[in-house]
Structures are given as C-alpha cells and as structure tokens.
Amino acid sequence: KTHIGVLALQGSVDEHLECLSRLGVRGVPVKRKEEIAAVDGMILPGGESTTIGRLLRDFGLLDPLKDHITNGLPVWGTCAGLILLAKHILGETPYLGVMDITVRRNAYGRQVDSFKTSEIIPAFGQSPMPLVFIRAPYIESVSGGAEVLCELEGHIVAARQRNMLATAFHPELTENIDVYQYFLRMTEEARCQGFIWESTKKTN
Ligand code: GLN
C-alpha cells in the first residue's frame, strides 16, 4: 500500500491527511528524517514558508529531504511547499532549492490576497477544478527541466519537473481530488523507475 508523507511542521497538514484518507491512501505525518525513508512520496503543505523553512533546519530535515528528492522521491509542494522547492525566490534565499522555478512570494498583493476561481487544467483533468489561493505565490518563470502545467492570467500556478510537482493553490481545501490522483500516479511511475535506477546503480 502506498504511504504518502505529509511534512508535519506547520500549516495545512491535517487537511492533506484527511484528503489522503478519503482516497484510501495511508498518509503519514513526517517530522523526523528517518520517517522520510519509509514513504513513497512527500507532500509539503501550505502554511508559512519562512516558518516551515526554519523548522526544517531546526529539525535537521532540510538536507535529508533534499537528498531524497534529488534521488527521485516524488514530492508535491502546495503554496508554501512550492516556495520551499524553488531554486530561486525573488529577494530571498531558497530552502530546498531543488526545482528550476523562480517564485514570487505573496504575489497577488493585498487587494486580492486570497481568492477562489476554477479552471480546466488538462494535466489534472478534463473538467474545471476549483482553485483556492491564500496569500499565494506564483511562479515567475521556469527553466531547465521544469514544465508549466497551468497559467492563470499570465502567471504560472502549477509546474512539474521529473519527480517534483508544485501548485500555488490548495487542492486540500476543496473536494476535488484530481491533483491527488495525478500525484499518486507520479509515485507509481517513480516506483517503476526506482527499480531501474537501483539496478543500473548496482551494475556500475
Ligand atoms: N504566504 C505564504 C508564504 O509566503 C504562503 C501561503 C500559503 O501557503 N497558503 O509562505
């Protein structure tokens, strides 16, 4: 059975765990580095990226998590989680720095700092899905192997790079499970590729 870790330092941890349980997937709150090795994928929830980033360091999780992701562990960052993944944060030092995206924090400004809309995102599903933004970042640009999955009024709000998925919005605050299903497929793919990777490693 698939085990999905949810980084449980701060933010919308319970909401993600609840969605996973609705999908019949085992969700595991992750606070210690040993726990990362036991999951098939990791969700980095929304919250406050500066707080989660500081706690990642304090808990000694930053480097282990970075190593696992670099080695292919599927990861999905929502909102603050997206910020944690970015190689570039405008005006700030990156945290995990694993994904080729440049991020603008609190990008929507005061007037519209939180809003809800809906959009068809072909990568995730064929019908419009609700998108909830809460003091959200957006992605200014992607480079390297990162690919845009959704643009909203000229701003990138979802992207994918190999084993990494980033959404500026919060599917865990809606009933829609399309992004969860997409991420679960990523973990299935990684499992197969993981075998290939392990076996090429052994023959080298
Ligand atoms: N504004 C938060 C940050 O910059 C992100 C908000 C969220 O995760 N809902 O970290």
pLDDT tens digits for range 44-79: 999 999 999 999 999 999 999 999 999 999 999 999
Contact 12, 170 (CB under 8 A): yes
* Rg for the chain, CA atoms, rounded: 16
Please count the other Cβ atoms lying within 10 Å of the Cβ belonging to residue 116: 13
pLDDT of residue 204: 43
Q: How many CA atoms lie within 13 A of 61 on its CB side?
A: 22
Is the shortest distance between the CB of 184 and ligand 1 below 6 Å?
no
Is any atom of ligand 1 closer than 6 Å to the C-beta of 10?
A: no
Segments making up each domain of the chain, as ranges? 3-203
d(CA 110, CA 91): 18
Residue of minimum CA distance from atom 8 in ligand 1: 46
Which residues lie below 8 Å from residue 192, measured CB to CB, with a gap of 6+? none
Q: Determine if residue 4 is labeled as part of a ligand binding site.
A: no
Secondary-structure class of domain 3-203 per CATH? alpha beta
47 marked among binding-site residues:
yes
Please, are residues 129 and 118 in contact by the beta-carbon 8 Å criterion? yes
- Predicted confidence (pLDDT) at residue 202 exceeds the cutoff of 60: no
What is the set of active-site residues? Answer: 79, 170, 172
CA of 109 to the centre of ligand 1 (A): 12
pTM of the full predicted structure?
0.94
Q: Are 85 and 166 in contact (CB under 8 A)?
A: yes
Q: Is 52 in the pocket of ligand 1 (CB under 6 A)?
A: no
Q: 135 among the known binding-site residues?
A: yes
Q: Are 6 and 15 in contact (CB under 8 A)?
A: no
The residue whose CA has the least distance to atom 5 of ligand 1 is 80
| Nearest one of 128, 126, 127, 148 to 139, comparing CA atoms | 148
Q: Look up residue 48 and give its two tokens.
A: 């406050």
Q: Mind listing the pLDDT tens digit for each residue in 94-125? A: 999 999 999 999 999 877 889 999 999 999 99
| pLDDT for 191 | 84
Give the pLDDT score at 56. Answer: 98
